[in-house]
Amino acid sequence: MKRISTIIMALVMVMTMAQCKKDNPTTPDNQNNVVTITLDVKNNNGSKVDVNTTTGTVDFETGDKVYVGSGGKYVGFLTHNGTNFVGNITNPTENQPLQFYFLGNVTPTETLSAGTTEECSVIISDQTEHLPVISCAASFENYVSSLTSYTGHLLNKCALVKFNVTTPSNSPICITGMNNKVTVDFSQNTITPSQDGEGIIKLPAGSGENVEKWAILLPQEALEEGEEGSVYSEDGNYIGIHPSIPTIIENGYFAEGIVVLIVMHSYVDLGLPSGLLWATCNVGSDSQEDYGDYFAWGETQPKNTYNWDTYQYCNGGDHTFTKYCYDSSYGYNGYTDELTFLLPEDDAASVIWGSNWRIPTEAEWEELYNNTTVIWTSLNGVNGRLFTASNGNTLFLPAAGAIGGSWHQHEGIGMYWSSSLSVMDYYGPDYAKEFIFSMDYYRLGANARILGETIRAVRSVE
């Protein structure tokens, strides 16, 4: 067998539709002129349809098909016999090159009829089993009836891309907004990429930190970072944001690649009256029992020290607030703004995980524990509270404590921010509402905004 010598672009990225059956297209015999030809693909010595990510080459295996065009029409297909491609073509046009199209072993969406079909398409969404490389070539020789053996050098019309995906999910990963359809125009001898439906490319299963998942992408302009949900696991348990993707060109090769990370987050439906969905881990973590990061209320990044001197929305004290202050006696130079709920730009869940995620309100914490059975337990050696819903689904919150100053404190207690400022109670705007629990109790409380507490995000039903 022989290898196709190709140049493919490898993009290393930190950031799937059932696979099409390999049905044979129909090639009706034309009694006037049905000829058997052989295609010898130059520099081809491979053993299977796959991509060698080191050398940038594509290999063939017995049974692979190459579709043939001539005179502006589809004229038949050739099948790899272990050495060359061999098959019948019908009514080829004399004294013109034959056009060969390898469509990644994906069956065309149309039924092909030799001598009449001018166009066909394939959709390369499902890449969980193999990488559907798209390539084409014109024969080096013009077709003449006396010649039965032809040669060609197939060139890739796609790019080889490596995504680095961070997710605990072992389900195939779907990326939307991609060109995933190729249309072959036999009359123009062209291959045109486009987007079918949501433009889904389905990557292979596999979970872990920075798992490499290879894919074939078709040429398209650079894409900006996608919206929340533009990346998701096929089982529906994880969603994420696809990264900005540079311009994809055909037949290119980047030895060093480009590193882009796809981070995904899971949620659980507890059947709550509001339909609210709760994340299964804290912001800054990727497992249920991991503590994650700590945030002062209204800040969107963790830090080393949590006190009034480092707090973003004051000038060094608890009566010098510059945002989220409804009492002038607490505001800097009498400042007030009447804001009592976090704005999206100050919500760590929204900023870090995407706009569909946010910190729960005080009322939403109440809805959680009033509509579930809550017990003190441990998960993988970590103490915390387990919430069990009537639908059988569960949510675990580790007792992660908090950070005051520069040291971790209140271990054995869970302290989770709400998005609600403390209003109309014993505390002033220097306090914000929290959900607090130990092995003995769980309830709503309030704490100084400067304290570093954990965050468990929520999202609404799609």
Domain boundary among the residues 205, 239, 262 is at 262
Neighbours of 333 (CB within 10 A): 8
Shared domain for 250 and 302, answered yes or no, is no
Instruction: Please tell me the predicted confidence (pLDDT) of residue 353.
Output: 85
Q: Any idea of the CA torsion for 27, 30, 36, 41, to the nearest 10 degrees?
A: -50
Residue 102: both structure tokens together: 């390898």
Instruction: Please tell me the predicted confidence (pLDDT) of residue 1.
Output: 29
Q: Which residue has the tokens 């010595």?
A: 45
Shared domain for 137 and 22, answered yes or no, is yes
Shared domain for 434 and 328, answered yes or no, is yes
Shared domain for 296 and 420, answered yes or no, is yes
217 vs 247: CA distance, rounded Å: 10
* Contact call for residues 408 and 400 (beta carbons, < 8 A): no
Shared domain for 220 and 291, answered yes or no, is no
Domain boundary among the residues 222, 246, 262 is at 262
Q: What are phi and psi of 454, to 5 degrees?
A: -85, 165
In which domain, by residue range, is 439 found?
270-459
* Contact call for residues 189 and 169 (beta carbons, < 8 A): no
Shared domain for 241 and 334, answered yes or no, is no
Instruction: Please tell me the predicted confidence (pLDDT) of residue 31.
Output: 52
Shared domain for 248 and 295, answered yes or no, is no
Shared domain for 250 and 283, answered yes or no, is no
Q: Where are the beta strands (DSSP E) in 133-177?
A: 134-142, 149-152, 155-156, 159-167, 173-175
Domain boundary among the residues 262, 286, 312 is at 262
Shared domain for 61 and 80, answered yes or no, is yes
Mean pLDDT by 10 residues, the chain (462 residues): 33 32 41 80 45 54 92 95 92 95 92 94 92 90 94 85 75 91 96 95 78 84 80 79 82 48 78 95 91 97 95 94 96 95 96 88 97 97 96 97 84 93 88 97 96 95 66
Shared domain for 232 and 291, answered yes or no, is no
Shared domain for 442 and 312, answered yes or no, is yes
Which of 283, 267, 290, 453 shows the shortest CA–CA distance to 382?
290
Instruction: Please tell me the predicted confidence (pLDDT) of residue 239.
Output: 75
Q: At a CB cut-off of 8 Å and minimum separation 6, what does 285 contact?
A: 291, 292, 293
Instruction: Please tell me the predicted confidence (pLDDT) of residue 389.
Output: 97
- Overall domain count for the chain: 2
Shared domain for 127 and 202, answered yes or no, is yes
